[in-house]
Homo-oligomer: A and B are copies of this chain.
Amino acid sequence: MSIDNIMQQAALAFDRYKQVEPVQRAAFLETIAGEINVRREQLVATAGRETNLPDARLNGEINRTTFQLQLFAQLIREGSWVEAVIDRQRETPARADIRRMLLPVGPVVVFGASNFPFAFSTAGGDTVSALAAGATVVVKAHPAHGATSLLMFEAISTAIIKSDMPEHTVQHVTGGNEAGRELVMHPSTTAVGFTGSLAGGKALSAYASQRETPIPVFAEMGSVNPVVFYPEALETRATQLAETFAASVTLGAGQFCTNPGLLLGLEGEAFNRFQTLLHAAIEKTAPQKMLHTGIRHAFLQGRDGMLAQQEVTLIGALPETATAEDAPVAPSLAATTGSAFLANPHLREEVFGPYALLVACRDKTELLQVLKTVKGQLTSSIMATDTDLSNWPDVIALQTTLAGRVILNAAPTGVEVCAAMVHGGPFPATTDARYTSVGTAAIRRWVRPVCFQGFPDQLLPDELKNNNPRGIWRLTDNEFTR
């Protein structure tokens, strides 16, 4: 079937799906979770073959995926997320009756991510938040795990039938870059969700801006996730920090958006000792297979490109890399100085995989300069004692401006699915720092506010009716009430 047909079907399905009651949408999401669990064994086996990820990780990711479905079901059943605002008619000063709420924008295109075959793919966070909002979804399967994607789509399709949702509420497309371009350019597409490379996100954004009617592309792209190791923290708990960060750098073969790729500290014995401890801890981790040969190739090329830069030195010996295309890769650590980092913009770039660059800065001023040169980030982390925190307020203040999430004394990997989460950040971490792709606020990407003026009660959506039949929190005449 052509992409034109698919998008037309998505638009027709939207006309019906947007009218489905929130409680039924919630039940639909829970039914998808159930259908995923029914297929769990097969999903894990298939994804294991396609992605080289171990069973434990894949099972954990399925748990995360079904949890997301349940969380969004709760969100829309509770209902306050629509941000209902009511300004009632009044005589003095005269004002019309004006009410607004968030409504879904229309069909959404979701691009599956290579590094999360479940949680950011076919039934992942983008799809689930869009379905919760009342948008229909066309998923473009990631080519690296097509069979997994198809199996997940089967779970969704079964849930559509069991829940009596409109046909084509979710559709599944395979194909390459040209299919992606067509999906973004189609007039019926109203928004795009993407998790992947900077090049990929920029390409989709460029297509979107070429449309007669531009649409938002929510692309979550690259990040080096800088971590600053403060002096006293390094003095007092270098061993613990080394273990924490060895685990974080190598987690999932380093294939996480929040992988800590840039580790900063002040030059000197404490930082040197941390470097040695970190290297020792990392050397103990077993080499892991990467997701696919393309990513493995890009990682080796990226890492070697970094190691070829002036004043960048490998820590330890370069791990031997087997020649087989799908052989495991060992993590690598490199080191440089603050002045070298400032002089060479290439060192700011991300190497996607198990790699980190340690940067020893001459002093606090240089460390501040280094932080100022990094680009927009998903996360910015602070490893510090109470003394560090009171001694370095200016560095901490700067760190809070770099990213969507600022983390104190924990590794950036591990993104909680919750209401407060911001998995987003200034460009080029994402295309739009005002939104998150993880957590319940992810639903806001697929809606826009619509204002109803002078409508009689019976013609208003339930969320805006006088007697508040859905029992949601609303801002009525500037007071929050329920």
Binding site for B on A (CB under 8 A): 74, 78, 80, 85-87, 95-96, 98-100, 105, 205, 209, 213-214, 216, 375-376, 386, 389, 396, 400, 403-410, 416, 418-422, 424, 426-428, 431-434, 436, 441, 444, 447-456, 459, 473, 475, 478, 480, 482
Complex CA distance for A422 and B452, rounded to whole angstroms: 9
Complex CA distance for A95 and B403, rounded to whole angstroms: 21
A376 CB to closest chain B CB (Å) equals 7
Q: Is the CB of A96 within 8 A of B416?
A: yes
Q: Is the CB of A422 within 8 A of B407?
A: no
* B residues less than 8 Å from A386 (CB atoms): 456
* Most chain B beta carbons < 10 A, residue from A400, A407, A432, A453: A453
A87-B420, A400-B450, A406-B452 known, 16 other contacts, Cβ within 8 Å: A87-B418, A100-B421, A213-B375, A213-B376, A389-B459, A404-B448, A406-B451, A406-B453, A407-B454, A408-B452, A408-B456, A419-B478, A424-B449, A426-B448, A434-B444, A473-B480
Closest 4 CB pairs of A and B: A422-B451, A405-B451, A85-B420, A408-B454
Given known pairs A214-B431, A416-B95, A455-B408, the reply for A449 and B422 (CB within 8 Å) is: yes
Q: Is the CB of A419 within 8 A of B453?
A: no
Taking a contact as CB atoms closer than 8 A, the residue among B87, B396, B421, B482 that contacts A98 in the complex is B421
* B residues less than 8 Å from A449 (CB atoms): 404, 422, 424, 434, 436, 441
* B residues less than 8 Å from A431 (CB atoms): 214
* B residues less than 8 Å from A74 (CB atoms): 478
Q: Is the CB of B407 within 8 A of A453?
A: yes
* B residues less than 8 Å from A403 (CB atoms): 450
Complex CA distance for A78 and B480, rounded to whole angstroms: 12
* B residues less than 8 Å from A375 (CB atoms): 213
Given known pairs A449-B422, A459-B389, A475-B419, the reply for A410 and B214 (CB within 8 Å) is: no
Given known pairs A434-B449, A451-B406, A453-B405, the reply for A418 and B214 (CB within 8 Å) is: no
**CB-nearest residue of chain B to A449:** B422
A-B contact pairs, 18 of them (CB 8 A): A80-B480, A87-B420, A87-B421, A95-B418, A98-B418, A100-B421, A105-B433, A205-B214, A389-B456, A405-B452, A405-B453, A406-B452, A408-B456, A421-B451, A422-B451, A434-B448, A434-B449, A480-B482
Complex CA distance for A450 and B78, rounded to whole angstroms: 24
Complex CA distance for A434 and B448, rounded to whole angstroms: 5
Complex CA distance for A86 and B439, rounded to whole angstroms: 13
A347 CB to closest chain B CB (Å) equals 17
Complex CA distance for A408 and B408, rounded to whole angstroms: 52
Taking a contact as CB atoms closer than 8 A, the residue among B444, B448, B473 that contacts A433 in the complex is B448
**CB-nearest residue of chain B to A419:** B85
Q: Is the CB of A100 within 8 A of B420?
A: yes
**CB-nearest residue of chain B to A480:** B473
* Most chain B beta carbons < 10 A, residue from A409, A416, A444: A416
Complex CA distance for A449 and B419, rounded to whole angstroms: 12
Complex CA distance for A87 and B85, rounded to whole angstroms: 24
**CB-nearest residue of chain B to A461:** B400
Complex CA distance for A98 and B417, rounded to whole angstroms: 11
**CB-nearest residue of chain B to A105:** B433
Q: Is the CB of B451 within 8 A of A404?
A: yes
Given known pairs A87-B418, A100-B421, A416-B96, the reply for A410 and B454 (CB within 8 Å) is: yes
Complex CA distance for A420 and B405, rounded to whole angstroms: 30
Complex CA distance for A444 and B448, rounded to whole angstroms: 13
* B residues less than 8 Å from A389 (CB atoms): 456, 459
Q: Is the CB of B80 within 8 A of A427?
A: no
Complex CA distance for A56 and B448, rounded to whole angstroms: 36
Q: Is the CB of B214 within 8 A of A422?
A: no
